[in-house]
Amino acid sequence: MTTPFPKSPTFLTIDEPFRFEGDLYDLEVEGTIPAELDGTFYRVGPDQAFPPMLGDANPFNGDGMVTAFNIKNGHCDMKMRYVLTQRLAAERAARKGLFGHYRNPYTDDPSVKHLSRAVANTNVVLHNGVLLAMKEDALPYSMDPHTLETKELYNWNGQVTATTFTAHPKIDPATGEMFGYAYAAKGEASDDIAIYGFDKLGNKTWEVWFKSPYPGMIHECAISEHYIVLPLMPQVMDLERIKAGGILFQWEPTYDHMYLVMPRGGDAKDLRVFRAPNAMPGHVINAFDDGGKLYLDLPVASDNVFWFFPDKNGHAPAPPSLRTDVTRWCFDMNDKNSAGVPTVMSNLAAEFPHCDDRYVGHAYRYGFMQALDFTKPYNADRAGPIMGFFFNTFLTMDMSTGKYKSWFAGDTSSTQEPVFAPKSANAPEGEGYVIGVVNRRDEHRSDLVILDAQRMDEGPVATIKIPVRLKYGIHGNWVPSVANK
């Protein structure tokens, strides 16, 4: 018998498990899907397939469920599949949960200790014709980008020996080279970091190992023409704590957050660490360098966002009490004694950004994000499942000024991470569409909306109706068909 899922914050009614894999051919559309859109919007999020063995579970613990929205000739088809991980296969065979606490292998059922704990629920990235379902605590799984069939736990044909790999690699649009990194790269709580580069055919071009200043979470990275940056968060791992059955991460309110900068192709000795006051760096919008000055754009939260990873006293701030500033850091790579200099571009609570992928690592103008517009109705009783609140707005921000054009999704709607699709391969930067899932909470279903990125305030050009409720995804990407043959 399948026990019911716990009625806990992780399995809130508003985001309860969905678990239905399938295909929906030719979604109903209101408005008009732009004829020039030709590609796939891939997204992934946690959707726990079995009630957790130890009761409640961390919201990031759910099995990765991938959605592909294929858009062509004004039509949109949808496909949803679980990443069929070793973990999911084992739980299906047993017809029950077998894995213990989040990133704590010491709490698993003994029957699964030889298996990968990967849930592959954080991002889906296409590189070298392989769709990678990624989560930073394990290696990714490869999937067929067209059928979403799961292939294998992926170590780049033996080229990667780290036990983990980020969910946020970056692809240089000029070369097709992909950069990624591993933290806790020699096992949970280890302070080992590895950075990897792969050319457009998946051949390893770079590998460097070094020690982290402290064994903290590194969720993101950024590349510029000459550098890669890893923001280190004061969420700190401890091996003894998980051996005792505890939580891997603990917020350390006295720790600096840091930016680890490495020249592309560099050695461990080339690492430079920029310290910054205690805060929580968020998702990268973009980075670029110019004459030895490295610029990094990202939202920075004033305190710990992850209420489920509190400090040693069990304290975490209520998510709505946090301040999030969209920040541009400048790191002077020519002055060895310089500190990073932050400039607040906007105090809008914006997150889950993308830039125009054709400008990753290069000077750019536009960021595309979701935000929580606090001037709109906000109902704390219906707080969001992962970040503790619902985003409600999509926007295009001019990163040269911090000004933005936005679209509010509605009083009973909430947004998920949007992506950007250019109107054509040669369109000017930011000429294209912001595409994202909106949950219609009172209707228990979702829409996929398409907005003109330069005319966000005019509302969707197309609203693609989804007859089911998509659980809150984490990240995704737009892949033009020409890049996905």
Residues in contact with 338: Cβ distance below 8 Å, sequence separation at least 6, in sequence order: 331, 332
Amino acid at residue number 96 = K
Residues 409 and 443: beta-carbon distance below 8 Å? no
Closest approach, Cβ 472 to a second copy, in A, equals: 14
Pick 32 or 347: Cβ nearer a second copy: 32
Report in angstroms the alpha-carbon separations of 219 from 8, 123, 232, 427, 468.
25, 11, 8, 31, 30
Closest approach, Cβ 444 to a second copy, in A, equals: 4
365 near a second copy, judged by CB under 8 A: no
Residues 127 and 171: beta-carbon distance below 8 Å? yes
Pick 1 or 482: Cβ nearer a second copy: 1
Pick 3 or 159: Cβ nearer a second copy: 3
74 near a second copy, judged by CB under 8 A: yes
7 near a second copy, judged by CB under 8 A: no
Residues in contact with 428: Cβ distance below 8 Å, sequence separation at least 6, in sequence order: none
Closest approach, Cβ 46 to a second copy, in A, equals: 15
55 near a second copy, judged by CB under 8 A: no
Q: Per CB under 8 A, which region of 48-56, 145-153, 253-261, 475-483 contacts a second copy? A: 48-56
Residues within window 440-459 making contact with a second copy, judged by CB under 8 A: 443-445
144 near a second copy, judged by CB under 8 A: no
Q: Which H helix or E strand runs over 69?
A: strand 64-72
Q: Report H helices in 186-337.
A: 239-243
- By C-alpha distance, which of 66, 211, 204 is closest to 134? 66
Which residue among 75, 151, 312, 455 contacts a second copy (CB under 8 A)? 75
CA 177 – CA 331 distance, rounded (Å):
24
Amino acid at residue number 153 = L
285 near a second copy, judged by CB under 8 A: no
Q: Per CB under 8 A, which region of 28-36, 109-117, 219-227, 418-426 contacts a second copy? A: 28-36
Strands (E), 324-390: 324-332, 341-346, 350-355, 366-371
CA 97 – CA 104 distance, rounded (Å):
14
382 near a second copy, judged by CB under 8 A: no
131 near a second copy, judged by CB under 8 A: no
Residues within window 95-124 making contact with a second copy, judged by CB under 8 A: 95
27 near a second copy, judged by CB under 8 A: yes
Closest approach, Cβ 443 to a second copy, in A, equals: 7
Closest approach, Cβ 50 to a second copy, in A, equals: 7
CA 289 – CA 273 distance, rounded (Å):
17
Which residue among 6, 7, 8, 23 contacts a second copy (CB under 8 A)? 23
Rg, Å, the chain Cα set: 21
84 near a second copy, judged by CB under 8 A: no
- By C-alpha distance, which of 31, 33, 20, 151 is closest to 83? 151
Q: Per CB under 8 A, which region of 18-26, 167-175, 300-308, 395-403 contacts a second copy? A: 18-26
Pick 28 or 411: Cβ nearer a second copy: 28
Q: Please tell me whether residue 474 adopts helix, strand or coil conformation.
A: coil
CA 367 – CA 206 distance, rounded (Å):
29
Pick 76 or 276: Cβ nearer a second copy: 76
Pick 152 or 443: Cβ nearer a second copy: 443
Residues 251 and 304: beta-carbon distance below 8 Å? yes
Which residue among 5, 209, 214, 378 contacts a second copy (CB under 8 A)? 5
Which residue among 12, 21, 186, 480 contacts a second copy (CB under 8 A)? 21
Residues 53 and 99: beta-carbon distance below 8 Å? yes
Residues 396 and 367: beta-carbon distance below 8 Å? yes
Pick 19 or 186: Cβ nearer a second copy: 19
**Binding-site ranges for a second copy (CB under 8 A):** 1-5, 16-30, 32-33, 49-51, 74-75, 80, 92, 95, 443-445, 465, 467-469
